[in-house]
Amino acid sequence: MKQPRSADQVEAVKEAILENALDIIVKHGLDGLTMRALAARVNMTAPNLYNYYSGKDEIYLSLVVKGFGMLRDELRAAFDRHSDSLERARAMMEAYLEFGMQRPRYYDIMFTLSTPKYRDYLGTDYEALSEKEYLISMEIVDLVVKAVTGLTGTGADDQTILPRVVQVWSLLHGMVSLHNSDVISYVVEDVNSIYQKTVREIVENASALLDTARTG
């Protein structure tokens, strides 16, 4: 008689399913992820996949939950390493860039590809799982706002802070995208030093920009 898998073995199989699904989504889009195609990659029958996941939506949402969880943990670690507000902001931006450039597949499904978001799952069987990803992403926003507030003191409100957060986020997203597409290497050789300089300049100018927005 075949012995049932241990809890560790089950988790290893689920992780292999997720990693192969991630490859398919990045290469072929979410529409390209089918249980049959995924089963072939993990040497499993399609019906057997349903012993681990209820379908492609649960697989996709499990991936984005994992991705946002990793990003949150890395940003929080950067936040906690520094008491100085400028160093904290710099470390968090560097952590964001590092996440995007070292985990490009996760970054793509989280921020680049046109994939379903929380509102798309409202009223469905997957609303609760999608809400988990949404709540993690909001933890990230709260952490970033807290870091920016540390640069300005308590005088700035959300109407001042959030537009600047979006501006910086857009810049960092562009930096990640140019790096991951390898386009930027055709323009400059030492990309990392330029990115480090850019982050330093953002931090140095952050307080002045927020002061201008608050008084302007």
Asked whether residue 213 carries a pLDDT value surpassing 50, the answer given is: no
Q: Which residues of 33-55 are buried (b: 16+ CB within 10 A; e: fewer)?
A: bebeebbeebebeeeebeebbee
Residue 68 carries which side chain, given as an amino acid letter?
A: F
- Whether the pLDDT of residue 88 is over 50: the answer is yes
Ordered by start, the domain boundaries in the chain are 1-53, 68-215
| Encoded tokens for 110 | 């989280």
pTM of the model: 0.90
From 1.10.390, 3.30.1370, 1.20.272, 1.10.357, which CATH number describes the 68-215 domain?
Answer: 1.10.357
- The per-residue pLDDT for 144 is 94
According to the model, what pLDDT value does residue 214 have?
47
Quote the strand ranges of the chain, DSSP E.
Answer: none
| Residue pLDDT, tens place only, 173-186 | 999 999 999 999 99
Fold of 1-53: Arc Repressor Mutant, subunit A (1.10.10)
